[in-house]
Structure 1
Amino acid sequence: MNIAMHLVVLGVIYCILCADVSARRAAVPEDNPQACKWDIKMCIDGTWVYRAAELNCEFDQCAVMAPEDESYSR
C-alpha cells in the first residue's frame, strides 16, 4: 500500500474512534441523577422507609414515637 492509502485508513480509524467517544459522552446525562436500589426497610413501629437519593442512597429515617403525646416526628 502506498502512503496515501495508509493516510486514508488512519483517517477512517480516527473518525470511527472520535464518533465512538462522542456517542459515549452523549449517552451520559449531564446532571447525572443518582438511582438507588428499591429496597425497603421495616421500622420498629411497622412503617416502611425507602432509600433516598438525597441521603446518598441510605435509608430514610424511621419515624420515632414521642413518649409524652405518642405523635410521630422525624
Structure 2
Amino acid sequence: MAQFQRDFVWTIQKSAALLDSIIKGYPVGTFIFWWTKDRLRSVRDLGNTPLPETKEGETVSFVLDGQKRLTSL
C-alpha cells in the first residue's frame, strides 16, 4: 500500500492564515480519516511528532485529507 500524503511544505504565513480563518469562523475544509486494522508498509510522522507503534490487530486512524491543516494546528 502506498503513502497517500505529500510532504509538509506549508509556510508560517500559510499556517497563520489557517488560524486566522478559524478565528474568523471561515470554512477551512473537511478532514477525512480512515480507520482500519490493516497496517501500512510505511507510516510517516505527523509533522515533527513521531507516531506511536500500533499493536497487531489494533485499529488505527490514517489522515486521508487534512494532514497539513492538522499539522499546522
Larger radius of gyration: 1
TM-score range, shorter chain: under 0.3
Q: TM-score, normalised by structure 2?
A: 0.19
